[in-house]
Amino acid sequence: MAAGGDSEDVLRVRRGFEVPARELHWRFSRASGPGGQGVNTTDSRVELSFDVARSPSVPDDLRERALTRLGNRLVDGVLTVVAAETRSQLRNREAARERLVERLREATAAEPRARRPTRPTAGSKRRRLDAKTRRGAVKKLRGRPDE
């Protein structure tokens, strides 16, 4: 489960939605890529999982929204993020934590307000028609002269 000694024992997603460390599941494995002598012995790749569907810390209205928006990223209601960019397990843990919070924020964000349609002003209509008239006059001058 959660490794001891974390600097943060709670992930703050938004007001009214915090994830306690005990609900996070960490897995560590060897990362591919450069790392020198330590690459074969250090478990620096980090997987951080959070059970969105069954967590008691997710408010019901946000859970519904998150499950809908994260549908293709969830496996049995569990969201997993991976970090393996750096050689340091500690920095990868921080990156995974930030990535999880960002994904949850995006998934639980409120819908944008609907756009209220507006109508063009009388002045803008007049300017548009004046511009069309001027453009037509310029094009008419390109024709053959009348005899």
The per-residue pLDDT for range 78-106, each reduced to its tens digit, is 999 999 888 888 899 999 999 999 999 99
Looking at mean pLDDT, say which of 8-17, 34-43, 109-118, 122-131 comes out highest: 122-131
Identify the burial level of 28 via C-beta atoms within 10 angstroms of its C-beta, where 0-12 means exposed, 13-18 middle and 19 or more buried: middle
Q: CB–CB of 102/12 below 8 Å?
A: no
Give the largest CA-CA distance in the chain: 96
Q: CA 136, 138, 143: angle at the middle one, nearest 5?
A: 95
- Give per-residue pLDDT as tens, 13-58: 888 888 888 989 999 888 776 666 666 667 788 999 999 889 898 8
In CATH, the architecture of 10-108 is: 2-Layer Sandwich (3.30)
Segments making up each domain of the chain, as ranges: 10-108
